[in-house]
Amino acid sequence: MFSYAPAPESRSVVSLASCYGLFIDGAFEPAKDGGTFPTVNPATEEVLAEVAAAGPEDVDRAVAAARRAFTTWSALPGAERAKYLFRIARIIQERSRELAVLESLDNGKPIRESRDVDLPLVAAHFFYYAGWADKLAYAGFGPDPRPVGVAGQVIPWNFPLLMLAWKVAPALATGNTVVLKPAETTPLSALFFADVCRQAELPAGVVNIVTGAGGTGAHLVRHPDVDKVAFTGSTDVGREIAAAVAGTGKRVTLELGGKAANIVFDDAPIDQAVEGVVNGIFFNQGHVCCAGSRLLLQESVAEDFLTALKRRMTTLRVGDPLDKNTDVGAINSAAQLARITELSEIGSAEGAERWSPDCPLPDRGFWFAPTIFTGVTQAHRIAREEIFGPVLSVLTFRTPAEAVEKANNTPYGLSAGIWSEKGSRILAVAGRLRAGVIWANTFNKFDPASPFGGYKESGYGREGGRHGLEAYLA
Amino acid sequence: MTVTATTPVDLRAFLHGLPGVDEVGVEARAAMLATRSIKADAKAAAIDLAVRMVDLTTLEGADTPGKVRALCAKGIRPDPTDPSCPSVGAICVYPSMVPVAAAALAGSGVHLASVATAFPSGQAPLEVKLADTRAAVAAGADEIDMVISRGAFLAGDYRAVSDEIVAVKQAAGDAHLKVILETGELATYDNVRRASWLAMLAGADFIKTSTGKVAVNATLPITLVMLEAVRDFRDRHGRQVGVKPAGGIKTTKDAIKYLVLINETAGSDWLSPDWFRFGASSLLNDLLMQRSKIATGHYAGPDYVTLD
């Protein structure tokens, strides 16, 4: 038996203050009413820092700062804006170890993922949009596209820094200024990003960060001087935002929930499909809007595939997010753990068969073992509702037509996966799936050049690529 | 399914019916496993295991009895200053050197492997290959490393490849048969998977990546595909087959990546010199240097590990 000794990444690369303020007009300051809230390490429940809770007046000040900065920022030649973005990208690369450890501390995701996935993609997004800043006239949106103005951006807790990059990089490249609200449970990397902006000598007011709970975000998106709202998060909140901004003339992009089908045909490369299914649902503890949370297996290979999948799941290493060998980290919050637990209990109560590998979980913190449900049908709630955790629902199909029908039979449509060695089948099925991103023989692969976004209740608008510029250009 | 009862068409249908291997996916999986960080006690245990898995090899035209005797002495006692250091798994030489090695290894418990079958090209008549094998076994080799006919494999003549393995297995008698696929010449992962199954169905005790004599030798993703093959073969046929990557594995870091690959693919049943070997020559000295570093806290220079 070969058991790996603990291999923890050092925490000492991150120095945390006990308290963090709001980043408004180039400076950190406390909330007007002095309110704060704690942010905790979900793996240990240790309080990492107190963070300012922005009230309406703080949001007003941040929006006003962004409005002032817009005049000069939008007038800069694109090549000048690009210099700042390139500089930010390079600083992120230089500080990537620090930012990766910070992200794992505040979010609970394994250091292997924050180090090898999140941070490289964050830097890549800034590099990519830096490249567009002086080429906007050639992006296909007219000869002289103009920025929209002040963007109010609200991001989720699953990829705190990466979602910030998806929002901030295209906004700045196109000449907009930003007020961004990070999620309540993961505010720290956005505040460190504010420090990166200062280090890059970004003009004051171009990026403002207001931390707080849902109320802060609600005030931001309703603010009359915000021209463009970008939101990534739950479909329920997205619906509220769409209602709130209806008729105001504000532009909106929404990137919401998902219940993606990962379809494995009998001619799939089985070993790699097993890896892809594992990556599809257990990557980032399943806290992924485009997670492959519904596995559709062709019946002729279902039994063998499940045997292989279970065998693979027994090798998943669940535990300390800072251990370099950890595959599955902590659930981000007690509230999310409660939701995952509740939906899983409903899955069992509705008659699906639950299975998890034998894996010891730490005593403190928020943890949920990787779980699969077999014998799931379209009528089960765990096949319809987004769980946003490491829980996979397994369904079967007989023919390609049935696979497509089941995959599309969901209120969502963010992503899907197809596993087959037959190219013609991949193209035929992909053409009939109603989802914004379709992966073939891979899953959860991201690239700044590739647009991302949903159908139906998964939202509207696209982020990433040339398409991602459109939301920020008039 | 046994090969002798199989027509060429059946064998082709079976091999081409195996699930395909997605190149991007298998390379990504191998790269991810290569990021595992093996420290402290786990590293010390891994190094000792790796030493026991080394097939310490010399396959040069310039090999002499003196060179082979020195290599055998090194294999038996890799670190003369440390009696706790285990012996290697086997010594691997050309057939002409087997008598010398057999005398040098007598009573040591270290196995004696000989390449045979017109190594490394395999381009000789079957009778010559069988005579080569019989001579090596008669002179004292208890492991035979044969090469498959890549020409026949690439031409799609799977039956010819299979028949040859069956014949060599018979000629080898009680000696363990390692079948070298020469994966660098098979070129695709699909071919590596098919050749692995072909060799196992024909009776291989071990499947081995390479001769060490071509441009591409052992790699992590190729070994991953072979580990999947031996795992699946045991599930279906109940017989365990070993794996031997050979060529290009030079450092402790490399060796530990292979052990991680075994651990998380075929499983701990293969973490033994009976079921996994490294075909290597310079790897052993790096393992010894790392071993003494763990024991003493500092690196000794190359003059503190023995040559050969």
Q: What is the pLDDT of residues A116-167, one digit of tens each?
A: 999 999 999 999 999 999 999 999 999 999 999 999 999 999 999 999 999 9
Residues of B in contact with A8 (CB under 8 A): none
Pairs across A and B, CB distance < 8 A: 69
A290: annotated active-site residue: no
**Close Cβ partners of A410 (under 8 Å, ≥ 6 residues apart):** A259, A261, A294, A384, A456
**Interval A209-232: pLDDT, tens:** 999 999 999 999 999 999 999 999
| Residue ranges of domains in chain B, CATH in brackets | 3-295 (3.20.20.70)
pLDDT given at position A373: 98
pLDDT given at position B1: 53
Residue type, B67: K
pLDDT given at position B306: 83
Catalytic positions of B = 145, 208, 244
Band (A284; pLDDT cuts 50, 70, 90):
very high
- β-pair partners for B279: B55, B246
**Interval B75-112: pLDDT, tens:** 999 999 999 999 999 999 999 999 999 999 999 999 99
Alpha helices (runs of H) in A270-418, residue ranges in sequence order: 270-282, 299-313, 334-349, 400-408
Residue A5: which of B26, B35, B42 has the nearest Cβ? B42
Mean pLDDT of the residues in chain A: 98
3-state secondary structure of B143: strand
- β-pair partners for A255: A232, A459
Total count of residues recorded for chain B: 308
CA dihedral B114, B120, B122, B123 (to 10 degrees): -140
Band (B6; pLDDT cuts 50, 70, 90):
low
Domain A11-256+456-470 architecture: 3-Layer(aba) Sandwich (3.40)
> In this prediction, what percent of chain B has a pLDDT beyond 90?
94
With a cut of 70, say whether residue B3 has pLDDT above it.
Answer: no
CB contact (8 A) between residue A324 and residue B25 = no
CB contact (8 A) between residue B25 and residue A315 = no
Band (A98; pLDDT cuts 50, 70, 90):
very high
CB contact (8 A) between residue A2 and residue B28 = no
**Structure-block tokens of residue B28:** 């990504």
A80: annotated active-site residue: no
CA atoms lying within 13 Å on the CB side of residue A270: 22
- What are the residues of chain B with a beta carbon less than 8 Å away from any beta carbon of chain A? 19-22, 24-26, 28-29, 35-43, 45-46, 49, 228, 259-260, 262-264, 268, 271
CB contact (8 A) between residue A441 and residue B25 = yes
pTM value? 0.96
Measured distance between the N- and C-terminal CA atoms of chain B, rounded to whole angstroms: 45
Q: Does the domain made of A261-440 have the CATH classification 3.40.309.10?
A: yes
**Where are the domains positioned within chain A?**
11-256+456-470, 261-440
CB contact (8 A) between residue B43 and residue A5 = yes
Least Cα separation, residue A167 to chain B (angstroms): 28
Residues of A in contact with B26 (CB under 8 A): 271-272
**Structure-block tokens of residue A383:** 């096949």
Residue of A416, A449, A469, A383 whose CA lies nearest to A142: A469
Given the structure tokens 């004696």, which residue do they identify? B112
Q: Do domains A11-256+456-470 and A261-440 have the same CATH topology?
A: no
